[in-house]
Structure 1
Amino acid sequence: MTTTTTLKEQVLMTLKRQQANALVLYLNYKKYHWLTYGPLFRELHLLFEEQGAAVFASIDELAERSLILDGQPVADPADYLGTATVTPSSGQLTVKAMIEEAIANHELIITEMHQDADVATEAGDIGTADLYTRLVQTHQKHRWFLKELLAKGDGLVS
């Protein structure tokens, strides 16, 4: 963030980035949901759907927070990829690679939301800081569930 932007503008930029990240992560989850396979198919299919739905719900919260602050959310579909720091999933992946990709995305979002909560706090915006604090807990729980799938290395997730 540059020194020429106000703290409020910085908060609005973080909200836009996290809104874009949520949409890209949601779309990644839909891919995983549709393309999962193997002995844990049912559990993974449902887990990816459940986690994706939670991420989807956050898109509107983040957009509305921008509006509450008299800013603008990311509204044009073409602007999402240029705003997001989460990379869209690409290509045919193994189930293990899907899980690893999702974990990495959650780790990125968690790191950014910690920083973004600090920006909001510095701006005196406890509402946005609280939103990030709540959402980071969701991402941490999702990451935990996904990491547990890989913990034993028992070959069920290949």
Structure 2
Amino acid sequence: MTTTLQPRLTELVTALNREQANALVLYLNYKKYHWLSFGPLFRDYHLLFDEHSSQVLDTIDELAERSLMIDGKPVADPAKYLPTATVRASEGELSLREMVQEALIAHEVIIAEMHKDAEAATEAGDIGTADVYTRLVQTHQKQRWFLKELLQKGDNLVS
């Protein structure tokens, strides 16, 4: 990329780093939910949270490598992940309903940011980065859909 794009490049790398950090935080949140699932639907939630965590984990490397492809640097120091992320790290004991709600909120944040980030990448002429967001946002949209369905049933099985 040319030096005239340098300010835009910095913005694109900053966004990629944020999404990389968000993915790692969401992955760790999902592992927490997976390990701490309980109740009459334990098996279903245990497996769902594990499946979602694996899908999110797959996105981390792609986001980091995209930063490198556009001459940036990914988030590499573990201590930098939480300050870089806009997704909140899960804390404390949660009910299953709270776990699902917390994950849903994280996906809402990521989806909104990826839409903006895809637009910014397109405006900067970086269709490769825009494509990464376009593909990865679909993972988050599908997981959001599953989580929303769990909360809409009103059958009191999600405590």
Structure 1 counterpart of 2:11: 10
- CA RMSD in angstroms, aligned pairs only: 0.7
Where in structure 2 are the equivalents of 1:123-134 lying within 5 Å? 123-134=124-135
Q: How far did residue 150 of structure 1 move?
A: 1.1
Structure 2 counterpart of 1:36: 37
Q: Which runs of 5+ in 2 are unaligned?
A: 1-5
Q: What are the superposed Cα offsets for residues 64-109 of structure 1, whole Å, 9 maximum, x if unpaired? A: 0001111100000000011000010000000000000000000000
Per the alignment, in what secondary structure is the counterpart of residue 6 of structure 1? helix
Q: How far did residue 8 of structure 1 move?
A: 1.1
Q: How far did residue 39 of structure 1 move?
A: 1.1
Distance 1:86 1:134 in 2: 20
Structure 1 counterpart of 2:150: 149
Distance 1:152 1:83 in 2: 35
Per the alignment, in what secondary structure is the counterpart of residue 120 of structure 1? helix
Runs of 4+ with >3 A deviation: none
Structure 2 counterpart of 1:109: 110
Number of matched pairs: 154
Structure 2 counterpart of 1:59: 60
Q: Tell me the TM-score normalized by structure 1.
A: 0.96
Contact 1:106 1:139 in 2 (8 A): yes
Contact 1:7 1:122 in 2 (8 A): no
Distance 1:131 1:40 in 2: 34
Q: Tell me the TM-score normalized by structure 2.
A: 0.95
Q: What are the superposed Cα offsets for residues 32-55 of structure 1, whole Å, 9 maximum, x if unpaired? A: 000011111111100000000010
AA aligned to 1:63 is A
